Amino acid sequence: MFAKSFINSLITVALCSLWPTLINTAVGVTSVDKDLVNVSKVLQLSWWQHIRTIVLPSAIPMIFTGLRLSLGIAWMVLIAAEMLAQNPGLGKFVWDEFQNGSSASLGRIMVAVITIGFIGLMLDRGILQLQKWLSWNKQQALR
């Protein structure tokens, strides 16, 4: 179904990029205000209600910070994996143009690098917009 190099690239990208999200999520969940946890116990919230109303709203900023870091790392590792595994994509294009060595290759490499940077920026802005949409803004609630 998938080429072996695609599976290898997928595993490489996943293993390299999962750690910031895992670590930030763990830090976000463990740093939930103890007063909120106590209120949850006093109100006798179920496990699901506790997660939905106390833990997730408190941990969302850290979770999304980890997601944004992971996305940046995944994008860089994906381009490098395409170069090394010769998977079709921008990484392979840059590598092939680099190996070509003609004077016209430099311009194509620069366009590809700018495109890679722009796609990375758009991925980051997309996750940031999702974070703004899902997060609770304390300043707006006070107005």
Could you give the residue ranges of the DSSP H alpha helices within 31-142?
34-42, 47-50, 56-85, 90-100, 103-134, 138-142
Confidence at residue 2, expressed as pLDDT on a 0 to 100 scale: 54
pLDDT, average across residues 129-135:
87
Percent of the chain past pLDDT 70, that is, above it, reads 92
Higher pLDDT, residue 139 or 75: 75
Of the candidates 64, 69, 85, 84, which has an alpha carbon nearest to the alpha carbon of residue 120? 69
Q: Rounded to two decimals, what is the model's pTM?
A: 0.80
Confidence at residue 103, expressed as pLDDT on a 0 to 100 scale: 79
pLDDT (tens digit, 9 = 90+) per residue, 45-93? 999 999 998 899 889 999 999 999 999 999 999 999 888 887 788 888 8
In degrees to the nearest 10, what's the CA dihedral of 109, 112, 118, 124? -100
Confidence at residue 139, expressed as pLDDT on a 0 to 100 scale: 59
Gyration radius (Cα) of the chain, Å: 21
| Burial class for 24, CB neighbours closer than 10 Å (0-12, 13-18, 19+) | buried
* Nearest-angstrom CA–CA distance, 35 and 33: 5
Of the candidates 96, 29, 109, 100, which has an alpha carbon nearest to the alpha carbon of residue 66? 29
The pair of structure tokens assigned to 120 is 């990375």
pLDDT band (50, 70, 90) for residue 142: very low
Q: What residue spans define the domains of the chain?
A: 4-142
Percent of the chain past pLDDT 90, that is, above it, reads 50
